């Protein structure tokens, strides 16, 4: 019986990637540019960890004056009232912006916009509302309607319309085209397709984004209070200016509890929507 021996195939050399040197050079340039940008940023912002070390004594004195927090009934009651006002600002700033954001999202999504002109106009409006920070809107509305939470609500409505409209329009562009095509084939109009196919399909995603924006807006309403737009931020600003740091710490603890509660409630709702 004759046994035939087969030779193992010789390993072929792995061909060199001709683009490897180019890729290495590109990464080297990217790293060099990033390092240069960071050096420029450190210089422009006067970034100095040494200043933080030398200022440790000031921070220690600040904490010594803030701890323990002032838990007197008047301060706690004022903090709770301010925190609830902050919560209401975030709530109204989110919900009242829904119809405006939804309309601009429909007009600003490629799959639902009537034509290119309307699409570009809607995207431009969304970009403007999104580009202007809510605190700038607050300063504008404070000069228009005066100090108070109403200016904060208007500021959040304007800014949230831009942000939420952009997020919603992108969600509509990523929707499964099957139901939309079926309705178009059946002779449905553009708005019938949007109302009966597009929005119902992405409704859970839109709701999740809405809850996320509510979380963000409650935090933003705290900052808006620092410029006179009402809420607990106004109390924090007043406490800092009058060097009542123990009151400031009380207000921070109260708003922390509110924000944690909002986070937990939003997470619970999002979980039920999945």
Count CA atoms within 13 Å of residue 89 on its CB side. Answer: 35
What mean pLDDT comes out for the span 89-101?
91
Please state the separation of Cα 198 from the chain's center in Å.
24
User: How many angstroms separate the Cα of 150 from the Cα of each of 93, 117, 218, 235?
Assistant: 10, 34, 14, 16
pLDDT tens figures, 175-186: 776 666 676 677
What mean pLDDT comes out for the span 195-213?
80
**So what's the pLDDT on residue 14?**
53
CATH superfamily for 73-273 is MetI-like (1.10.3720.10)
Domain ranges of the chain: 73-273
Least confident of 70-84, 120-134, 141-155, 194-208: 194-208
User: How many angstroms separate the Cα of 213 from the Cα of each of 148, 256, 262?
Assistant: 22, 18, 11
Average pLDDT, the chain: 82
**So what's the pLDDT on residue 18?**
65
Q: Which long-range contacts (CB under 8 A, 24 or more apart) does 241-244 make?
A: 243/65, 244/70
Q: Which of 78-92, 195-209, 259-273 has the highest mean pLDDT?
A: 78-92
Q: Is the pLDDT of residue 239 over 80?
A: yes
CB within 8 A of 126, min separation 6: which ones? 104, 105, 108, 161, 162, 165, 166, 169
Q: Which of 107-116, 128-137, 223-232 has the highest mean pLDDT?
A: 128-137
CB within 8 A of 261, min separation 6: which ones? none
Q: Is the pLDDT of residue 51 over 80?
A: no
Residue 167 and residue 104 in contact, taking contact as beta carbons nearer than 8 Å: no
Cα separation of 232 and 146, whole Å?
17
What mean pLDDT comes out for the span 87-115?
88
**Quick one: tokens of 126?**
């969304």
More confident residue, 144 or 21: 144
Count CA atoms within 13 Å of residue 86 on its CB side. Answer: 34
- Closest C-alpha to 247, from 92, 99, 66, 116: 66
What is the crossing angle of helices 232-241 and 199-224, to 10°?
A: 20
**So what's the pLDDT on residue 148?**
84
CA angle in degrees (0–180, nearest 5) for 9-10-11: 115
CB within 8 A of 267, min separation 6: which ones? none
Residue 214 and residue 91 in contact, taking contact as beta carbons nearer than 8 Å: yes
Q: Is the pLDDT of residue 245 over 60?
A: yes
More confident residue, 127 or 70: 127
Q: How confident is the model at residue 11 (pLDDT cuts 50, 70, 90)?
A: low
**So what's the pLDDT on residue 12?**
54
CA angle in degrees (0–180, nearest 5) for 227-232-237: 45
Least confident of 32-46, 166-180, 200-214: 166-180
The residue whose two tokens read 């590109």 is 26
Q: Is the pLDDT of residue 96 over 90?
A: yes
The residue whose two tokens read 């109403």 is 150
What mean pLDDT comes out for the span 224-239?
83
What is the crossing angle of helices 116-131 and 98-107, to 10°?
A: 140
Q: How confident is the model at residue 19 (pLDDT cuts 50, 70, 90)?
A: low
């Amino acid at each position: 019986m004759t046994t035939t021996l087969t030779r193992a195939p010789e390993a072929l050399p792995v061909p060199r990637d001709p683009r490897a040197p180019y890729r290495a050079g590109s990464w080297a340039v990217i790293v060099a540019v990033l390092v240069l940008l960071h050096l420029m940023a450190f210089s422009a912002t006067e970034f100095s960890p040494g200043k933080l070390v030398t200022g440790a004594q000031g921070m220690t004195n600040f904490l010594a004056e803030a701890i323990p927090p002032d838990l007197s009934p008047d301060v706690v009651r004022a903090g709770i009232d301010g925190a609830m006002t902050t919560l209401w600002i975030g709530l109204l700033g989110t919900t009242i912006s829904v119809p405006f954001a939804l309309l601009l999202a429909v007009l600003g999504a490629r799959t639902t916009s009537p034509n290119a002109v309307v699409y570009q106009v809607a995207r431009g409006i969304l970009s403007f509302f999104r580009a202007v920070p809510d605190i700038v809107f607050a300063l504008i509305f404070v000069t228009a309607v005066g100090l108070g939470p109403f200016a904060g609500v208007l500021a959040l409505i304007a800014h949230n319309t831009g942000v939420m409209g952009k997020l919603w329009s992108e969600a509509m562009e990523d929707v499964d085209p099957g139901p939309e095509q079926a309705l178009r084939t059946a002779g449905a109009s553009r708005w019938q397709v949007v109302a009966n196919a597009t929005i119902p399909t992405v409704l859970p995603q839109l709701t999740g984004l809405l809850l996320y924006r509510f979380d963000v807006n409650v935090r933003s309403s705290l900052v808006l209070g620092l410029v006179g737009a009402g809420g607990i931020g106004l109390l924090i600003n007043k406490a800092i200016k009058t060097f009542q740091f123990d009151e400031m710490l009380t207000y921070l603890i109260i708003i922390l509890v509110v924000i944690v509660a909002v986070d937990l409630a939003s997470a619970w709702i999002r979980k039920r929507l999945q």
